[in-house]
Chain A
Amino acid sequence: MSLTTSNTPQGAAATKDNSSIIGRGNKEGNQLFRDWYQELTTAPSRGEHSAYVFVMGSLAEILQSFGIHTIFPEVNGLQTAVRHVADDYIAQGEDYGYSTDVCAYVKADVGLQLRGGDHPMGKIPKPSLAVYTNACNTYLKWAEIWERMYNMPSVTIDVPGSRADGRHTWSGHVDFENDLKYVRGQLDELITVCETVTGKKFDIDKLRETMHYTNVMMERYERLIELNKARPAPYSAVTDGTVYLGVANSLRGRAEGAKYFTDLVEEMEYKVANGLGTTFEEKYRLIFVGVPCYPIFRRFNEMFTEWGGAFVGSSYMWFASGGANTGFQFDLARPLDSLAEGLLVTTRDAMDTMFFSNRNIVDAIEPFGIDGVVYHPIKSCRTVSTGLADNRRAVIEETGAATLFVESDHMDKRVVSEAQLKNRVDAFFEGLATRRVRQGAGESK
């Protein structure tokens, strides 16, 4: 994806030594991503299978162990939006019969399928199967579309979520153990489907290998999030973060993905050690909540950076990372049980990040030195957007944080109004500036 920021950082002057390390993450991330799309494009010619999966619980470890490619329709969709062609795909989906109220990711994907997989990044292969969790209610209906189109199997992994806000059970608790058995049984079913589709026998050592790479990636990814506590923050959790998310999903369970995040952490540690930030003077530290505004991705971010607003945290980097944000480590001595546990814990966390995001935000405000929280509900997705207003109120009541609530869409430019967004963003920063002036003068907020 061409979502890079400039490589000239704020802070200390770049030296000869750091020229090869700074900006490496974005550069290599973009290249890996292009290579990955090329690999997908040519997969059918090699007789290789592909699975349509989603960012929350892709089960890449099992699929990769069978040599099945993972394809992310959400990623395909956002790529069309960033490249300003989403409206063509969406219109085709609407012409096919889907209402304007339906998720624009779904409609763009329908348009993509109707075009035989023609996509700005390459040609998307037809699926041999689809695998998805219940983390998003739309996933289930979405997969049914492919079932009808391609007459292929789809596997639903039903993952129990939190019974109530803040009430989690863990290993050893009777509820957790029952949930674990339930998820574990479904993994066995998935393996059977993969064996049928590919004609290959399940190889547990190959699974161990893919899980090992995911372990490395998840450990590094958690560290990456942690590193943005530094002042200035070494990366933008919205623009750069989207590049990282692309790699975290597409190369999950693979050596290239593990290496990428190892190198990325090295780059960010270097930047932190040398006081290097992004490309502008960081004045306000912000958390972004929701899904980015891809139709005006760069401009949306600029509305904040013009004021010195840096996104140091993002709920998107949490819930769309396939659980990498938790740093969960699989136990390779008992791979399938551990995979089930990881899926249960991380998918539950992803759902919590959507529905109870106030917990994570409240917890992040102090360690990340947050000045404001930006909520971005999207018209397409009531799943992540419903409740954000209540969430915002809960965060304000608990922390008194300054917040901004701006609505648009992640795909559909018909409901993105830049002028209205900008006026709200400007008013938000005027408020932040006033707060800071008063705090400087010793007044209360």
Chain B
Amino acid sequence: MTITAGIDVGSTYTKAILLDDDSKIIARVLNRTGYKPGEIAEETYDAVLEMAGIGRDAVSYVVATGLGRFQAVFSQLGVTDLTSAAWGANALFPGTKTILDVGGQSVKALRCDEKSAVTSFRLNEKCAAGTGAFLEKTARYMGFGTEDIGPLAVTSTLEIPISGVCTVFAEAEVINHLSQGVAASDIMQGAIVSLVGKSVQLMKRVKMEPEVTLIGGIMRFPSMVTAVRELLGIDVNVVEGDMVQYVSALGAATLARYQLEKIRSDTDVGFVGVR
């Protein structure tokens, strides 16, 4: 059996996936990235191998992605999270043309073709507004943790607009709402809608066209997906459960298989990336 691996060393979480010959997921593991991305990449990779009951020598090719990809020294190839997102989204939803990836520290909108090549992309600029950090900080101001965001927002009955474009300044807005007796759930929902508004702007800038696939850790919150659907007015693809966090790792593992096949067929048209 030929096994390939993808590891996504993201700003907040590090994810690893193993694929078998049929591109079926053998194992997947997620850890918080923390402050030592190199160490956590090693730990996460070893953990996924342990889950599959195999050693490193059983894996034929490893592709790393995410901002910390350069720290995954055991990988043979490193690609940006844009490329891995395109490969992952297409592996799950082959008709994907536009992807919105909302992660902990970045939001990305990209367009790709049927062969997973990225044709256009836009990222948030030097600002955390519109990223997962915006929601995390909003939750934290109100005494909640990251995992409370989803359950909190679905109980909202009234959406409170959060107009601030700055994650730091939004704190003042949140405190103001709380002091006026607004429910935390409504503030949370307002933050989600604000984030979605900024994300959709990026999607428009890449000339979004269907099918649209949503990925990234923030998409595990149902309110987020609902807000995107409502704002776009079209249906969107979202993989169920926490798999939505693994899409880029899946893309890396899928790309690893492609790369391996090219190498084995001795053709000179393999994907070009950096280790």
Count residues of A near B (Cβ-Cβ below 8 Å): 22
When C-beta atoms are compared, the residue in chain A nearest to B110 turns out to be: A427
B274 interface hit (Cβ, 8 Å): yes
CB within 8 Å of B: which A56-93 residues: none
A424 interface hit (Cβ, 8 Å): yes
B121 interface hit (Cβ, 8 Å): yes
A273 interface hit (Cβ, 8 Å): no
Contacts of A440 in B (CB 8 A): 269
Contacts of A307 in B (CB 8 A): 274
Residue from the list A415, A426, A427, A433 in contact with B126, Cβ < 8 A:
A415
Q: A423-B67, A440-B269 are known contacts. Are A430 and B83 too (CB-CB below 8 A)?
A: yes
Residue from the list A306, A407, A415, A441 in contact with B274, Cβ < 8 A:
A306
Contacts of A441 in B (CB 8 A): 269
Q: A419-B67, A423-B67, A424-B123 are known contacts. Are A430 and B269 too (CB-CB below 8 A)?
A: no
- Inter-subunit contact B272/A426 (CB<8 Å): no
B82 interface hit (Cβ, 8 Å): yes
When C-beta atoms are compared, the residue in chain A nearest to B66 turns out to be: A423
- Inter-subunit contact B274/A427 (CB<8 Å): no
Contacts of B67 in A (CB 8 A): 419, 423
- Inter-subunit contact A437/B272 (CB<8 Å): yes
- Inter-subunit contact A430/B126 (CB<8 Å): no
Q: A420-B123, A423-B67, A426-B274 are known contacts. Are A434 and B80 too (CB-CB below 8 A)?
A: no
Residue from the list A407, A420, A430 in contact with B273, Cβ < 8 A:
A430
When C-beta atoms are compared, the residue in chain A nearest to B83 turns out to be: A430
Contact flags (1/0) for A411-443 with B, using CB distance below 8 Å?
000010101100110110111011111101100
Contacts of A424 in B (CB 8 A): 123
Contacts of A436 in B (CB 8 A): 272
Contact flags (1/0) for B252-275 with A, using CB distance below 8 Å?
000000000000000001111110
CB within 8 Å of A: which B87-125 residues: 117-119, 121, 123, 125
When C-beta atoms are compared, the residue in chain B nearest to A404 turns out to be: B121
B7 interface hit (Cβ, 8 Å): no
* Bound complex: CA A435 to CA B125 (Å): 26
B79 interface hit (Cβ, 8 Å): yes
CB within 8 Å of A: which B121-169 residues: 121, 123, 125-126
Contacts of A415 in B (CB 8 A): 126
* Bound complex: CA A426 to CA B272 (Å): 11
CB within 8 Å of A: which B220-237 residues: none
Q: A427-B80, A431-B119 are known contacts. Are A420 and B126 too (CB-CB below 8 A)?
A: yes
* Bound complex: CA A406 to CA B159 (Å): 35
Count residues of B near A (Cβ-Cβ below 8 Å): 19
Contacts of A306 in B (CB 8 A): 274
Residue from the list A407, A420, A423, A430 in contact with B272, Cβ < 8 A:
A430
Contacts of B118 in A (CB 8 A): 427, 430-431, 434
- Inter-subunit contact A437/B269 (CB<8 Å): yes
Contacts of A434 in B (CB 8 A): 117-118, 271-272
* Bound complex: CA A436 to CA B268 (Å): 12
* Bound complex: CA A70 to CA B79 (Å): 48
- Inter-subunit contact B123/A423 (CB<8 Å): yes
Is the contact region of chain B dominated by helix, strand, or loop, or is it mixed? loop
Residue from the list B82, B123, B272 in contact with A433, Cβ < 8 A:
B272
- Inter-subunit contact B123/A430 (CB<8 Å): no
CB distance from B180 to the nearest CB of A (A): 33
* Most chain B CB atoms below 10 A, which of A407, A434, A435, A440: A434
* Most chain B CB atoms below 10 A, which of A417, A430, A436, A440: A430
When C-beta atoms are compared, the residue in chain B nearest to A419 turns out to be: B67
Contacts of A423 in B (CB 8 A): 67, 80-82, 123
- Inter-subunit contact A433/B80 (CB<8 Å): no
- Inter-subunit contact B125/A430 (CB<8 Å): no
CB distance from A389 to the nearest CB of B (A): 9
Contacts of B125 in A (CB 8 A): 407, 420
Contacts of A438 in B (CB 8 A): 117
* Bound complex: CA A336 to CA B82 (Å): 57
- Inter-subunit contact B80/A426 (CB<8 Å): yes
* Most chain A CB atoms below 10 A, which of B79, B80, B118, B119: B80
- Inter-subunit contact B126/A417 (CB<8 Å): yes
Contact flags (1/0) for B67-84 with A, using CB distance below 8 Å?
100000000000111110
CB distance from A216 to the nearest CB of B (A): 44
- Inter-subunit contact B121/A427 (CB<8 Å): yes
* Bound complex: CA A440 to CA B272 (Å): 13
* Most chain B CB atoms below 10 A, which of A420, A429, A438, A440: A420
When C-beta atoms are compared, the residue in chain B nearest to A396 turns out to be: B120
* Bound complex: CA A434 to CA B270 (Å): 9
When C-beta atoms are compared, the residue in chain A nearest to B123 turns out to be: A424
* Bound complex: CA A431 to CA B121 (Å): 10
- Inter-subunit contact A430/B79 (CB<8 Å): yes
* Bound complex: CA A441 to CA B115 (Å): 14
* Bound complex: CA A271 to CA B79 (Å): 35
* Bound complex: CA A441 to CA B272 (Å): 15
When C-beta atoms are compared, the residue in chain B nearest to A435 turns out to be: B117
When C-beta atoms are compared, the residue in chain B nearest to A434 turns out to be: B117
* Bound complex: CA A334 to CA B118 (Å): 57
CB distance from B141 to the nearest CB of A (A): 25
* Bound complex: CA A438 to CA B113 (Å): 13
When C-beta atoms are compared, the residue in chain B nearest to A438 turns out to be: B117
* Bound complex: CA A431 to CA B269 (Å): 14
When C-beta atoms are compared, the residue in chain A nearest to B116 turns out to be: A434
Contacts of B119 in A (CB 8 A): 431
Further 18 A-B residue pairs, CB within 8 A, beyond A415-B126, A430-B273, A434-B117: A306-B274, A307-B274, A417-B126, A420-B126, A423-B67, A423-B81, A424-B123, A426-B79, A426-B80, A427-B83, A427-B118, A427-B121, A430-B83, A430-B272, A434-B271, A434-B272, A437-B270, A440-B269
* 6 A-B interface contacts by CB (under 8 A): A420-B125, A423-B123, A430-B118, A430-B273, A434-B271, A437-B270
Question: What residues of chain A have their CB less than 8 Å away from a CB belonging to chain B?
Answer: 306-307, 407, 415, 417, 419-420, 423-424, 426-427, 429-431, 433-438, 440-441
List the 5 closest pairs (A to B, CB-CB), nearest first.
A433-B272, A427-B80, A427-B82, A434-B117, A426-B80
